[in-house]
């Protein structure tokens, strides 16, 4: 445990005994009870999944018998319907799929830019953290901020079009 080397010999003995008692009294029973509960919860989860699968199969059979097919496709005669079909890839257009891939790529890029932007490896003379991987200038943090801003604007427009 932390800082054990700074304790006296008596403190090391008491600390070790406390750790052993804590494991014996709290950790082991908790683990045993937890494992039993895990099995019980796993069994209940599997039963619930089987029931859901049966319900979905019954719904699919009923839908097939009623003549229903596939996912909902909006009326393409209106702008809202065309936007819905495009943004949800309900049309056979490869452009809709490419747009979806582009949006997912931008989400991934946004996550990476936030991660890279949190790396603090350099600070200036005043002790101020420059953030990101700055090699003497601030071009990378500025570029990441601009990228984040543009992606957020695109996501806002996409959200408004979906609405």
When pLDDT is averaged across residues 30-39 and rounded to a whole number, the result is 74
- 133 and 115 Cβ atoms separated by less than 8 Å: no
CB atoms inside a 10 Å sphere around CB 40: 10
- Residue 152's closest CA among 118, 101, 103? 103
pLDDT band at 130 (very low <50, low <70, confident <90, very high): low
State the pLDDT at residue 50.
Answer: 92
Both 107 and 34 in a single domain?
Answer: no
Residue 71 lies in a domain: no
Distance CA 17, CA 12 (A): 9
Q: How does pLDDT run across 7-32, given as a tens digit for each residue?
A: 888 888 888 888 888 888 887 777 76
Q: How does pLDDT run across 40-82, given as a tens digit for each residue?
A: 778 889 999 999 888 888 877 776 666 656 666 666 677 777 7
Residue 112 lies in a domain: yes
Both 42 and 104 in a single domain?
Answer: no
Q: Give me the number of domains the chain comprises.
A: 2
State the pLDDT at residue 46.
Answer: 93
Q: List alpha helices for 5-129, DSSP H.
A: 9-22, 28-66, 79-87, 94-118
**Residue 129 DSSP SS3:** strand
Residue 153 lies in a domain: yes
Q: How does pLDDT run across 70-122, given as a tens digit for each residue?
A: 666 666 677 777 777 777 777 767 888 888 888 889 999 988 888 777 764 55
Tell which of 66, 96, 113 closes a domain: 66
State the pLDDT at residue 115.
Answer: 79
Both 93 and 58 in a single domain?
Answer: no
Residue 40 lies in a domain: yes
The answer to whether residue 148 scores a pLDDT higher than 70 is yes
State the pLDDT at residue 132.
Answer: 46
Domain that holds residue 15: 4-66
């Amino acid at each position: 445990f932390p800082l054990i080397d700074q304790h006296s010999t008596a403190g090391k003995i008491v600390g070790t005994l406390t750790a052993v008692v804590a494991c014996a009294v709290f950790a082991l029973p908790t683990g045993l009870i937890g494992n039993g509960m895990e099995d019980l919860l796993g069994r209940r989860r599997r039963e619930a999944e089987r029931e859901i699968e049966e319900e979905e199969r019954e719904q699919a059979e009923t839908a097939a018998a009623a003549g229903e097919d596939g996912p909902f496709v909006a009326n393409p005669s209106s702008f809202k319907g065309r936007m819905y079909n495009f943004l949800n890839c309900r049309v056979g257009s490869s452009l809709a799929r490419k747009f979806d891939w582009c949006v997912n790529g931008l989400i991934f890029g946004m996550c990476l830019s936030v991660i890279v932007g949190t790396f603090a490896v350099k600070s200036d003379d005043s002790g101020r953290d420059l953030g990101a991987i700055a090699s003497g200038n601030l071009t990378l943090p500025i570029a990441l901020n601009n990228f984040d801003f543009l992606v957020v604007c695109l996501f806002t427009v996409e959200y408004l079009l979906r609405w």
